[in-house]
Amino acid sequence: MAGPIIRASGLSKTYRISEKQPGLAGTIQHLLRRRHRDVLAVDGISFTIEPGEIVGFLGPNGAGKTTTLKMLTGLIHPSGGELEVAGHEPFRRQARFLRQITLVMGNRQQLIWDLPALDSLRVNAAVYGIEEAEARRRIAELAEMLELGPELQRPLRKLSLGQRMKAELLAALLHRPSVLFLDEPTLGLDVNAQARVRDFLADYNRRTGATVLLTSHYMGDITALCPRVLLIHQGQLFHDGSLADLTQRLAPCRQVRLELSDLQPTEAFACFGVIEAHQGHQVRLLVPRAQLTERVAVLLERFAVVDLEVSDPPIEELIGGLFRQRGEASVTGGVP
Amino acid sequence: MSWAWRVARALLGSQYALMLEYRAEIALWALSGVLPLIMLGVWSGSGAGVAAGLTPQQISHYFLAAFVVRQFTVVWLIHVFEEDALQGRLSPLLLQPLAPLWRYLAAHFSEQATRVPFVLLMLVVVGLAAPGVLWWPSPAELLLGLLAIQAAFLLRFVLQVIVTTLCFWSERAAALDRLLLIPYLFLSGLVAPLDTFPPAVRRLALATPFPWMVDFPARLLAGEPVNVALGFGAIAAWCLLLWPISRVLWRAGLRRYSAMGA
């Protein structure tokens, strides 16, 4: 298919919610004369994603990420705008479209809880019209990539969270979708399991050329997998580009750490930038990017520097800081 | 092997395995479906059946047949659907190229299969408690009776699909299903054979889908004279009337679906 595999233009979603005041009076009023309010969850966002891209979808709780994912998969109807995924209008949910996509939700499972995953996989293979021999081959291949074996024959409820998540991924990918929507796929997993799921996703993308749109609670997932991120806030697209560009946009300064051989007064560093910390021989400064080279050169010339490190502030802090400024507490995922 | 056959086989296989996991619960459900046996006791003890022109044997055959019919026409779609919609389990099903209703239908058929040994055991207990009360229907009666049970089940299923689609508008649509319980109990023939109804009430009942859900298959199994073509025709007509309504409501409901909990 030529051109973008996902195309969203002016996409919006408004929910109508009823409001209830606390207490008996509020309850009676809610019963007799219900008040409704329109909530604009997604406010005219536009973006395109090319085939084979892995894109991270970031935003604070309630930013509109999950609502956007639901529209992209066709689970809910957009209130406005245009949307095309793999050549289809998702909300029509045509079989040809559904065969090309998958949605993995870290907090929800599609596998049958009381049966071994293999039973559910057999149903999935039949539903997607995969021949039995081919289904066995794909299960074996994916199970090897995911390091799953006898676990597939145990009831799902007997598996650990990490094993269940891997089994869910296997089920979601059995029909070889070309577009993967992953909503918090590493939610609740330990560090090792998170790393294995990330490796698997990167490997799957390399092998199949599938497009991946990923939301995650963990910035580690985004930094490891996504060369490009979409940052959404209050239903609007705040950033579409690389993480490095986002860092540059959010952090006009870079962090310079110095270790000195002798003690210096704090005022000595005031002309170089914002002094974040100064303790003994250790100094941490924020220096404007434009003057970085020049000022570091002066620092090296003027002081007896034992060690020097220039870095960007952690991306979580930058995004968190941005949303705190705008009245939000966190940058992590969540259902609106 | 056709796609539909493979899907049906896989769904029925997995759902039967699942129902076997819940066998104790299903045994309790089977036990809870003894209303026709209670009504048999009431009608036999009061002599009301004889007053209504039915022999004691007709009464016992009818209610035992109604017991069997009731056991295999139970529909619980709305309760699981409501829970699935509220808990976000419906969303993954909607993203597969198979309408979720087929999974629920397969679950019902599998639950019926799991119920068979419990129902047989209960009939044996009834036979031991009241010797001579059981009878063997003729092969034709048995075949037609079983077909009528499945047809009645499908009619109940389609009717409940309509109420189930209201889950898209209300988070507690299962309560609406309870409204249907009253006409179902009194007009289906579950508490009294339709022959014992006053003519005007009987005519009214026959104009609803309910008598075809219990009275018709029960009378077939009991060997009573029944207009077989009319019975199956009425079930088909009701299904043909209700199914398009359910489809329209389903599509309208999906437009409102907000995929909560997912």
> Is A124 near chain B, with CB under 8 Å?
yes
Size of interface A-B (CB pairs under 8 A): 81
Residue A18 falls inside a structural domain: yes
Band (A327; pLDDT cuts 50, 70, 90): low
Task: Please give the structure tokens belonging to residue A237.
Answer: 């697209």
Average pLDDT over residues A22-41: 80
Helical segments of chain B, H only: 3-21, 23-32, 35-46, 48-51, 56-71, 77-87, 90-94, 100-129, 139-165, 174-187, 199-206, 215-221, 228-256
ipTM for the complex shown = 0.87
Sheet holding A282-288, edge to edge: A274-279, A282-288, A253-260, A305-311
CA distances from A239 to A69, A319, B65 (A): 17, 11, 69
Would you say residue B262 has pLDDT above 70?
no
Q: How far is CA B83 from the centre of its chain?
A: 20
Average pLDDT over residues A107-127: 91
Give A-chain residues touching B96 at CB under 8 angstroms.
Answer: 98, 124, 127-128
Would you say residue A253 has pLDDT above 90?
no
Average pLDDT over residues A139-150: 90
pLDDT of residue A220: 82
Q: How far apart are CA B119 and CA B67, in angstroms?
A: 9
What is the pLDDT of chain A when averaged over all its residues? 87
Residues A18 and A157 in one domain: yes
Residues A98 and A136 in one domain: yes
Sign of CA dihedral A321, A324, A329, A331: negative
Residues A99 and A198 in one domain: yes
Would you say residue A336 has pLDDT above 50?
no
In chain A, how many domains are there?
2
Residues A221 and A295 in one domain: no
Residues A225 and A270 in one domain: no
Helix (H) or strand (E) holding A309, with range, is strand A305-311
What is the pLDDT of chain B when averaged over all its residues? 91
> Is A105 near chain B, with CB under 8 Å?
yes
Band (A322; pLDDT cuts 50, 70, 90): confident
With 0-12 / 13-18 / 19 or more C-beta atoms within 10 angstroms meaning exposed / middle / buried, residue B176 is: middle
The answer to whether the CB atoms of B95 and A127 lie below 8 A apart is: no
Residues A130 and A262 in one domain: no
Would you say residue B261 has pLDDT above 60?
no
Q: How far apart are CA B10 and CA A128, in angstroms?
A: 12
Residue A272 falls inside a structural domain: yes
Average pLDDT over residues B225-242: 96
Give B-chain residues touching A107 at CB under 8 angstroms.
Answer: 88
Residues A170 and A47 in one domain: yes
Residues A183 and A242 in one domain: yes
The answer to whether the CB atoms of B18 and A115 lie below 8 A apart is: yes
> In this predicted model, which residue has the larger pLDDT, A242 or A107?
A242
pLDDT of residue A16: 82
Residues A94 and A204 in one domain: yes
Q: How far apart are CA B75 and CA B157, in angstroms?
A: 6
Residue by residue, DSSP assigns B207-249 as: TSSGGGGTHHHHHHHTT----HHHHHHHHHHHHHHHHHHHHHH
The answer to whether the CB atoms of B262 and A108 lie below 8 A apart is: yes
pLDDT of residue A329: 43
Band (A106; pLDDT cuts 50, 70, 90): confident
Helical segments of chain A, H only: 23-32, 65-73, 95-98, 117-127, 132-145, 161-173, 191-208, 219-225, 243-250, 292-302, 315-325
- In the three-class reduction of DSSP (H, G, I as helix; E, B as strand; rest coil), residue B16 is classed as helix
Residue A327 falls inside a structural domain: no
Residue A321 falls inside a structural domain: no
Identify the CATH number of the domain in which residue A176 sits.
Answer: 3.40.50.300
Range of the structural domain that residue A83 is part of: 6-247
Instruction: Give tens-digit pLDDT for A301-313.
Output: 999 999 999 887 7
Residue A67 falls inside a structural domain: yes
| Minimum CA–CA partner of A122 in chain B | B10
Residues A78 and A170 in one domain: yes
Residues A199 and A84 in one domain: yes
Give B-chain residues touching A112 at CB under 8 angstroms.
Answer: 14, 18
- Choose the closest CB to A126 out of B6, B22, B89: B6
pLDDT of residue A332: 41
Task: Please give the structure tokens belonging to residue B246.
Answer: 């359910």
Average pLDDT over residues A317-336: 56
Sign of CA dihedral B120, B121, B123, B127: positive
Residue A298 falls inside a structural domain: yes
Enumerate the β-bridge partners of residue A259.
A282, A307
Q: Work out the minimum CA distance from B262 to partner chain A, whole angstroms.
A: 7
Instruction: Give tens-digit pLDDT for A160-195.
Output: 888 898 899 999 999 999 999 999 888 877 788 888
Residues A237 and A261 in one domain: no
In the listed set A216, A247, A278, which residue is the last one of a domain according to the structure?
A247
